[in-house]
Amino acid sequence: MPKSDLYAGIGLMAFGLITLFVLIPTQTSDGGDASISPALLPQICAVCITGLAVLLTLQAAGKLKRGKAAGQAVPKAEWISSVAVIVAVGVAVLQFKYVNPAVAAGLLILGLMLFMGERRIYFLIGIPAFLLIGAWLLFYEVLGTAIG
Amino acid sequence: MLDELYSVAGSAFAVGNIAWILFGVTLGYLVGALPGLGKGTATAVAIPLTFYLEPLSAIAFLVGISKGSTAGSAVSAILLNTPGEPSSTPTAMAGYPLARAGKAQKALKMGLFASVLGDLFSTVVLILVAQELAEYALGIGPVELTAILAFSMVFIAGLSGRSMIKGLIAGLFGILISCMGLEIETGSPRLTFGLIELYDGLPLIPVAIGMLALSEMMIQIGQRQRLADEADLLKGSSKREDQIVTLADWKNCIRPIVRGSLIGTVVGILPGLGASVGSFLSYGAERRASGRGADFEESGAIEGVAAAESADNAVVPASLVPLFAIGIPGSVIAAILIGAFTIQGITPGPLLFLENKDLILGVYVSMLAASVMLLFIGYFGQNMFARIVRISPALIMPIVVFLCCIGAYLQGGGTFGIGVMIVFGIIGFFSKKYDFSFVTFLIGFVIGPSFELSLRQSLGLVTDLPELLDHPVAIVFAVLAVVGVWRLTVLQRKQMAEMAKAETN
């Protein structure tokens, strides 16, 4: 997958340079009297990541130049499922904060089941109910740790 | 050693501890049997539960899960041609044709026996080797430790993926991310972006759950149709000899099991090689020894199942040798176990045998008990697990995502932990899809703080290059790291060229 390697290399190069010249200077103190700067290890990592990203980019560009196939690395279905999972968990976090933990958990499970094509009503009701009751029993009754 | 193990048998065989091991092995087997779920996911999701357990029960529970899920992944590999994790791929190659020929029961039984034997052998080696190695490790200073950690990272980066460059980037990214939080010498915030939650650094468990479990769910949910279709291709058989392991099968399989156990144990001890390398090496050796060529996969081979499963299961206990002896996690499971040890206030490494000897001996006895339980649970629960693999992914995967959220919430300081899990879920998704080893990332993240500490101490001790000559062990490992980069890169190029050639043919 030289094409995706090329994009990954360019992205990582940018990440390495931003880390080195923006993030580390603004997010790390100079260390004052410290014998070794707190920025030392992050700087070593950022320099090495940038250097390796340059190598990866050159390697991928060389392969592309030689006409090696550039297949699609991630199928469309996996892109869609990834976005769906992230959105479902993100919405659940918002519901958890602003509505209710049980509603958040119930809708998270229900939403993903519906997304995956489950339409049997007894499963759509039974599984979220079973999990919520199980989590309540485990955390509130057995372990004594409230969630939310 | 036997006397020492006997002395802790009382606490290891306490009803509570045994119950947790039993629960761990059963849960692990169940999760392993489910298509698309592996030991990394199972162990990462279960970690938050251990917060409430005694240290021995906590570690034994997690080891039980990892052992159970390693053995259980053979079920979906053989029945559905869908390995729970890459290390079960050879099992699917040799076992799925047997299942389609009506010999699923035979293949599953032999897979289980080989798993238990490989696991048991490797556990005994762990017991015999780790303490001896730890005694040597106690004499290691910061300069040597820095060189050993650097060498381990190079080794892991080179062997856990197809590209040395990508492996090194993943490992360095892990170390960089581990730098977030209060700096160890001055206590000043570093890369925290003004977030108080980041002062203690990123929490390991949400990072691990995101990288291992959530990212896997994102991929598997996208492949749900393929998972559902595989279950329809199975055939049954009424012949008794197709359902049991006969004496002739044992005669054919004992040599591959012994060889597989040895290969798996050696591969497990070397940091970073992982179960996939072990099972593929063992399977390849058996395939060559059989002389059957492509027929090995076309008709299926019970010897292939035995070879792959014994090696796959031997890797897990052996990968704890570097963790217990030196404190270096050699595998994903070992990296996750560090999180569990930390929750219990214990630091893995050579001091473990001085400060927590009873605990470690208890873990050994629990591991042996887990091996025996694995046999019973796998044997008597086989029919049940065979039915479970047919459960629709639409029912399983939402449950796993829900458990991921609970785990990240409990161990990551509330919804902040879920946020961390989402971020690392996305990073994990891309790292899996673009072949940046997430194993190397996680190990880099875990060893990052030790690496920084030993590097700082080394820079204080060695101010001039000639002073390095006082540390010959460090020089050896530094040279090995450089040679490792060169040799492993050459090896990977050869493999890539061979793969490209095979694809063209």
Average pLDDT value over all residues in chain B? 84
CB contact under 8 A, B397 and A32: no
Instruction: Compute how many other C-beta atoms are within 10 angstroms of the C-beta atom of residue B128.
Output: 11
**Assigned token pair, B121:** 């052998």
Q: Of B275-284, B317-326, B489-498, which gets the smallest average pLDDT? A: B489-498
Tokens 């029960």: give the residue.
B57
The arithmetic mean of pLDDT across residues B319-338, rounded, is 83
pLDDT at B202 over 80: yes
B396 or B255: whose pLDDT is higher?
B255
Residues of A in contact with B410 (CB under 8 A): 145, 147
The arithmetic mean of pLDDT across residues B445-464, rounded, is 86
Q: Give me the number of domains chain B comprises.
A: 1
Question: Which of A45, A52, A83, A141 has the most B C-beta neighbours within 10 Å, making it the best mutation to test the interface with B?
Answer: A45
Residues of A in contact with B433 (CB under 8 A): 73-74, 78
Q: Among residues 241-270 of chain B, which lie with CB inside 8 Å of chain A?
A: none
How much is the CA Rg of chain B, to the nearest whole Å? 22
Residues of B in contact with A118 (CB under 8 A): 392, 394-395
**What is the reported pLDDT for B232?**
56
**What is the reported pLDDT for B498?**
66
Q: pTM of the full predicted structure?
A: 0.79
Question: Which of B163, B177, B178, B179 has the most A C-beta neighbours within 10 Å, making it the best mutation to test the interface with A?
Answer: B179
**What is the reported pLDDT for B228?**
63
**What is the reported pLDDT for B297?**
76
**What is the reported pLDDT for B237?**
55
B168 touches chain A (CB under 8 A): yes
Q: Of B156-170, B363-377, B448-462, which gets the smallest average pLDDT? A: B156-170
pLDDT at B75 over 80: yes
Residue-wise burial string across B270-279, b where 16 or more C-beta atoms lie within 10 A, e elsewhere: bbbbbbbbbb
Which residue in A74, A93, A113 is closest to B398 by CB distance?
A: A113
**What is the reported pLDDT for B54?**
86
Which residue in B190, B419, B460 is closest to A38 by CB distance?
A: B190
**What is the reported pLDDT for B477?**
85
Strand B189-190 to B181-182 pairing: antiparallel
End-to-end C-alpha distance for chain B, whole angstroms: 55
Residue-wise burial string across B43-60, b where 16 or more C-beta atoms lie within 10 A, e elsewhere: bbbbbbbbebbbbbbbbb
B392 touches chain A (CB under 8 A): yes
Question: Looking at B376-497, which runs of residues are DSSP E strands?
Answer: none
pLDDT at B159 over 70: no
Residues of B in contact with A35 (CB under 8 A): 185, 456, 459-460
Residues of B in contact with A135 (CB under 8 A): 406
**Assigned token pair, B197:** 């939650």
The arithmetic mean of pLDDT across residues B333-360, rounded, is 83
Residue-wise pLDDT for B92-130, tens only, equals 888 888 887 888 888 999 999 999 999 999 999 999 988
Q: Which amino acid is at B58?
A: A
Q: Of A50-59, B399-408, B495-504, which gets the smallest average pLDDT? A: B495-504
**What is the reported pLDDT for B36?**
65
The arithmetic mean of pLDDT across residues A99-127, rounded, is 92
Residue-wise pLDDT for B483-497, tens only, equals 878 877 777 677 667
Residues of B in contact with A78 (CB under 8 A): 218-219, 222-223, 433
DSSP annotation string for A72-114: -SS-HHHHHHHHHHHHHHHHHHHHHHHT-HHHHHHHHHHHHHH
Contact by Cβ (8 Å): B112, B66: no
